[in-house]
Structure 1
Amino acid sequence: MTQSRHYVLAAGGTGGHMIPAHALAEELMRRGHRVALVTDDRGARIPGLFDGVQVHVLPAGRLSGGPIGWLKALRKIFLGRAMALRLYETFRPSAVIGFGGYPALPALMAAQRDRIPTLVHEQNAVLGRVNRLVAGKVDAIATAYDQIDRLAKAHREKTHLVGNPVRDEVLALREQPYPALGEDGIFRVLVTGGSQGATVLSRVVPDGLGMLPEHFRRRLQVTQQCRAEDIEEVRGRYASLGIPADLATYITDMSDKLAWSHLVIARAGASTIAELTAAGRPAILVPLPSATDDHQTANAREMAKAGGARMIAQRNFTAVELAKQMQKLGLEPEALANAAARARAVGRPNAARDLADLVERTGRDLGSDPLPARNNVLSPAASGAFA
């Protein structure tokens, strides 16, 4: 076993940032290391992640809103940087790893001030804003895709393709066969819009499934994530169509739902793509058009090109188009199983291992230091310092 070290992971509070950070934390702890998480209020509230890891909430300003907004953001960033410096005095990390999102910025700035090695992991196929800001100063850049847009040529020598880490329970699905699908058997559809849901899926998917031929529609069984404001309307629509549907605002047992799914209809967030390709599940992907730098369309490129997914731009995502694509896939079990195999072929199952290897190579030895109290969530309104 390698010598035990301390690592700080810094991630913005969305599933796309938090899930790969969680997967890395699990791998590092398996290797005997200690891990702390820096995030925002949203990240600290996501259920099922970072159990047994000390969590610190930092203020993080978003650089938007004109000069006044920038000044407010800078104040928060430097307050977060000061709090991170106090954490490093006691925790003494061997490296700080950023996963994008504005909460990662003050943690990385503090590490660079203390000359602590830093890395960033980019989950998307377009380098994000915070990662672009720090790319020139970090020691290494880990990526999830071979083709990364907005990555400067000057930084490619320190760039390493590792993939996007997923949770252990999702990775375990890779060893299970794609669920058998007979011509008259139940056809299970999983619909997910990412950690925040997606109104367009709630609006289009029930109507699209309702347009399928009756013999196909009778076979459907749907699990769908919806926004809270949409869920009752969607429930009523499925009931009127006679389609069994299990609806929730947040799917906590995603690995179980993926395990029995024959087809997934989803946004093209980084974690969604990583989980689909790790498990080997075919998909109809509807990239979020307002995503920064249109990164969801870029995320879907590899899986769609390989034949593991069909990508539909949101402007073209209608009930008629969905019904057409569903029939092309669902009425040919061999085509669906082939798409599942193609999705699996572009997965990178060793992402957590490879990223942990990179972290260990980049980090420095500092010896064993006393740890602050575990599971200690602090906000700027608390003591003002890490304890």
Structure 2
Amino acid sequence: MTHQNEPRVSRHYVLAAGGTGGHLIPAFALAAELHARGHHVALITDERGATIPGKPDYLTAHVLPAGRLQGKNPIAWIKGLRAIWAGRAMALRLFDSFAPACVIGFGGYPALPALLASTSAGIPAVIHEQNAVLGRVNRFLAGRVQAIATACPEVDRLDEKYADKVALVGNPVREEVLELRDQPFPAFGEDGLLRVLVTGGSQGARVLSEVVPDGLAMLPTALRTRLQVIQQCRPEDIDAVRERYRGHDIPADLATYFENMAERLADAHLFIGRAGASTIAELTAVGRPAILIPLPIATDDHQAANTREMVAAGGARSIRQEKFTAVELAKQIQAIAKSPEALANAAHAAWNCGRPHAATDLADLVEGFGQAPLMDVIRVGHGTEVSFKEQTA
């Protein structure tokens, strides 16, 4: 961390991320912070990652091969290893010209070649884990990197032997979302509208389309007649969902994609949806109570783990998908929104789980390499301890 009277030194940093917005969004947030500090930043990603919206213009993207090591097919493993090795060689050539002070990986197989190259070249490396379960690539790299930045205070599959290099920083969110943190929770009185935001990720979720309209219809009249729903649906589901809401006489604004998600979140009193890392980070940054339905096929069931902190704090209710019925949804909504005070308390509990300094803390962490020793506060993320939970596969 640079002291107040020390001049900043412009350095080069490489971010390695790809595949999904869950990996790219925090990478973009860190890039913005490092760029604002006068550093030069480059991105290593895969072909899919290069198309994710939100990349800053100043962030040059380098697309590298990134193989996957999954399944039991030996031919697939050989192809995956060849792609990883080719990506590593390309990353080493980039490092020769770019000379990064540090390489920061955000998980996923597209980050693997760059991190292998950094450790081979003796370049300091940091990995950032967005979920409450250390991902497979990050588990493989944990012993090779200089620091492990986490988004959650409790991280499964993170071995205690790495405790000395763990820093709880949070999960960086988009600036337009972070700007909502100091705005008050939308007014919600005994007679006002109850605005419900429903999303299922970039492609929507069919189970939400099937369950949410009927669950909202089962609410007591005092709540049901005040509903205003905004829901993201899959293109093939949207007409049927619209008919369901029309049959229940519930006003609903439906779309397959919302560009102004920050504005939608700002107006919402209650969120219903999946429990991806970026979703949790945004809900807690803004302070919005939620009914969370973890994706059951998520690797290592990490979405269920992601809900722990919000649920324990009282800011969310979690329903496993096999138990996600209209009756259960109506029950949980009544529990969290039984009164304006209860909903406001849940919103404040969610807000307390937020880590609004995630981008700056992560930037402090990586910027510390080659400078003065890091301040102790960075190791615990503004005073919050990190706990470890090793699990067997």
TM-score surpassing 0.5? yes
1:49 & 1:201 partners in 2: Cα distance?
29
Is 1:94 aligned to 2:101, yes or no?
yes
Q: CA deviation at 1:170?
A: 1.0
Q: CA deviation at 1:21?
A: 0.9
Is 1:60 aligned to 2:95, yes or no?
no
The SS at the match of 1:349 is coil
The SS at the match of 1:173 is coil
User: CA 1:92/1:275 → structure 2, altered by over 3 Å: closer, same or farther?
Assistant: same
Tell me the residue number matched to 1:351: 358
Q: Give the structure-1-normalised TM-score.
A: 0.90
2:184 & 2:190 partners in 1: Cα distance?
18
Cα deviation 1:8-28 (Å, max 9, x = unaligned): 111122121111111111111
May I ask how many residue pairs the two structures share in their alignment?
A: 365
Cα deviation 1:270-299 (Å, max 9, x = unaligned): 111111111010001111111111111111
1:26 & 1:106 partners in 2: Cα distance?
23
Tell me the residue number matched to 1:376: none
Is 1:14 aligned to 2:29, yes or no?
no
The answer to whether the 8 A contact 1:263-1:281 is kept is yes
Is 1:28 aligned to 2:34, yes or no?
yes
Is 1:131 aligned to 2:141, yes or no?
no
Q: CA deviation at 1:144?
A: 0.8
Tell me the residue number matched to 1:370: none
The one-letter code matched in structure 2 to 1:184 is D
2:203 & 2:44 partners in 1: Cα distance?
21
Is 1:37 aligned to 2:43, yes or no?
yes
**Structure 2: 5+ residue runs without aligned partners?**
1-6, 373-393
The SS at the match of 1:175 is coil
The one-letter code matched in structure 2 to 1:312 is I
Tell me the residue number matched to 1:313: 320
Indicate which of 119, 139, 164 corresponds to 2:171. Answer: 164
2:117 & 2:271 partners in 1: Cα distance?
41
Cα deviation 1:72-117 (Å, max 9, x = unaligned): 1111111211221222222221111000011000011111122111
Indicate which of 78, 82, 90 corresponds to 1:71. Answer: 78
The one-letter code matched in structure 2 to 1:42 is R
Q: CA deviation at 1:2?
A: 1.4
The one-letter code matched in structure 1 to 2:20 is T
The one-letter code matched in structure 1 to 2:105 is G
Indicate which of 119, 123, 128 corresponds to 1:121. Answer: 128
Tell me the residue number matched to 1:225: 232
Q: CA deviation at 1:252?
A: 2.3
The SS at the match of 2:360 is helix
2:370 & 2:210 partners in 1: Cα distance?
48
Q: Give the structure-2-normalised TM-score.
A: 0.89
Tell me the residue number matched to 2:379: none
Cα deviation 1:198-242 (Å, max 9, x = unaligned): 221121111111222344223211111222332232223223323
2:370 & 2:177 partners in 1: Cα distance?
28
1:195 & 1:10 partners in 2: Cα distance?
21
The one-letter code matched in structure 2 to 1:27 is E
User: CA 1:362/1:247 → structure 2, altered by over 3 Å: closer, same or farther?
Assistant: farther
The one-letter code matched in structure 2 to 1:51 is D
2:215 & 2:287 partners in 1: Cα distance?
24
The one-letter code matched in structure 2 to 1:139 is Q
Indicate the larger mover: 89-98 or 349-358: 89-98
Aligned residues: CA RMSD? 1.6
The answer to whether the 8 A contact 2:25-2:54 is kept is no
2:47 & 2:255 partners in 1: Cα distance?
22
Cα deviation 1:236-275 (Å, max 9, x = unaligned): 3223323222223333222111111000011111111111
Cα deviation 1:35-76 (Å, max 9, x = unaligned): 111122222222233333111222211111321211111111
The answer to whether the 8 A contact 1:117-1:364 is kept is no
Q: CA deviation at 1:308?
A: 0.4
The one-letter code matched in structure 2 to 1:351 is A
Q: CA deviation at 1:364?
A: 7.4
Is 1:283 aligned to 2:290, yes or no?
yes
Q: Which has the higher contact order (CA 8 A, sep 6+)?
A: 1
